[in-house]
Amino acid sequence: MASSLSSILLIIFSLQFIFIPPTFSTSRRILHDHTNLPKTGFRVALKHVDSGKNLTKFERLQRGVNRGNLRLQRLINHMMMAASLSANTSTTSQVTSPVHAGNGEFLMNLAIGTPPETYSAIMDTGSDLIWTQCKPCTKCFNSPTPVFDPKNSSSFSKIPCSNTLCKALPTSDCGSDGCEYLYSYGDYSSTEGVLASETFTFGEVAVPELGFGCGEDNNGDGFNQGGGLVGLGRGPLSLVSQLKQTTFSYCLNSITDDISSENPTSTLVMGSLSSKTSNDSIYTTPLIKNPYHPSFYYLSLIGISVGDVDLPIKKISTFDLNSDGTGGMIIDSGTTITYLEESAFDLVKKEFVSQMKLNVDDSDSTGLDLCFELPADDGSGEMTVEIPKLVFHFDGASLDLPGENYMIGDVKSGLVCLAMGSSSGMSIFGNIQQQNMMVVHDLEKETLSFVPTKCDQL
């Protein structure tokens, strides 16, 4: 019988991952048809927003948790407001304005215009619109890349109000400049400007006539890590939809590794991913649609095991989508840790306390809900701690997480913490739990697959 314990090294993790090498096109080409992507797709390097900063492992984790807590709370507030409005409307079939996540944890480099100008943008699987700051800018935030000037590009053109992309906007107006938009996010930030088309270059592939928001009035503190945002949601405005791709993937390296490295080690793949794998190395579960919040990718979480204990979680009342659009679990690249409905998290927390052979830390110094005190250092610089296995039981796939995907240890602070938290109104499967896995979204089959992968070796 398999052991219910998983060993981790707090300084050097000794866990092994399966490396599935994808095949990519490396020849530079211009796509005259969005359906004419290289058969093996193309890839774009991703960089964590805190990459290259002089931060310890725990400092990076704490910064991500603080951003994630704000993202979660604002999403929940907007979802509850939407549910309340829906309940008070006389038309029960009416779908309220969707919530978009905004911000994010990973940046992608791209180029805009002809000639191409290099920009960095936030990758967000919780929204659809592609946008960047544009001149003339009535209100722009400080960003590490220049504000895009349409006058300097020969391939820029404004999109008319009759265009299907304009009609897909949640809020738009037909003004003298064509299709004018307002796009809001769950954290109360927004971008406002003109919907336009332009040539975007991703890695070695240039895509002409891609619809994007040319933002002349932009509000929000969370966007200043980049010059805009690339939405990868399920709606018609997203990069995935505009490229008419049925598959995209990302592979996120551990955010607590290479804490001083400025080299991007995570990857986004658009299009099909060619790899030879055995069936037991792929974990596939259905994607669920929520008509109230159509951009998000929802998963069906059936249960959770800690060690050899199946937690007594009531699935119907805990993780299922409710008729008003609340509840459920989304998978999100832009949230650092996993958040579970409070009743489920309390069971997880209780079981970890029961099975861990360490004292619980009550100092509340990390911002995480559950931390343990490490035993005294024996002077070797390495320390092995046994932790219970953690398995997420999704519909059709039981994902046995590696130890470093849910327990973060730091010898300097003398703590090891569970990288999870509690929520109320929805659950989120965060990016620490996804690290060192190729997360494959198949929109034709409506499935999501986890493929264990060494992301920093792609």
Residues of the domain holding 48: 5-83+96-457
Catalytic-residue membership of 187: no
349 lies in some domain: yes
Catalytic-residue membership of 369: no
88 lies in some domain: no
Whether the Cβ atoms of residue 434 and residue 251 lie closer than 8 Å to each other? no
Q: What percent of the chain clears pLDDT 90, i.e. is strictly above it?
A: 46
Q: Please choose, from the candidates 433, 159, 163, 149, the residue with its C-alpha nearest in 3D space to the C-alpha of residue 304.
A: 433
325 lies in some domain: yes
Look at residue 277 and tell me whether its pLDDT is greater than 50.
no
Signed CA dihedral, 426, 429, 430, 431: sign only: negative
Q: Please choose, from the candidates 389, 401, 393, the residue with its C-alpha nearest in 3D space to the C-alpha of residue 285.
A: 393
89 lies in some domain: no
Look at residue 11 and tell me whether its pLDDT is greater than 90.
no
90 lies in some domain: no
127 lies in some domain: yes
Look at residue 452 and tell me whether its pLDDT is greater than 70.
yes
Point out the catalytic residue in the list 128, 187, 332, 410.
332
pTM of the predicted model as reported, rounded to 2 decimal places: 0.86
Look at residue 431 and tell me whether its pLDDT is greater than 80.
yes
Which region among 4-18, 48-62, 251-265 has the lowest average model confidence (pLDDT)?
4-18
Q: Tell me the pLDDT tens digit for each residue of 139-180.
A: 888 888 889 999 999 999 999 999 999 999 988 889 888 899
437-442 and 427-429 beta bridge pairing: unpaired
- More confident of the two residues 268 and 265: 268
The domain that holds 219 is classified in CATH as: 2.40.70.10
Which region among 15-19, 115-119, 252-256, 361-365 has the lowest average model confidence (pLDDT)?
15-19
Those residues with Cβ within 8 angstroms of residue 350's Cβ, 6 or more apart along the chain or in another chain:
none
Point out the catalytic residue in the list 124, 187, 361, 456.
124
Q: How many domains does the chain have?
A: 1
Which region among 8-22, 147-161, 197-211, 232-246 has the lowest average model confidence (pLDDT)?
8-22
Task: Copy the structure tokens of residue 4.
Answer: 């219910």
Which region among 4-13, 101-110, 284-293 has the lowest average model confidence (pLDDT)?
4-13
**Calpha distance 95→89 (Å, rounded):** 10
What pLDDT is attached to residue 189?
A: 77
91 lies in some domain: no
**Calpha distance 70→367 (Å, rounded):** 13
First to last CA, the chain: 34
Q: What is the mean pLDDT of the chain?
A: 82
150 lies in some domain: yes
Those residues with Cβ within 8 angstroms of residue 452's Cβ, 6 or more apart along the chain or in another chain:
17, 18, 20, 281, 402, 436, 437
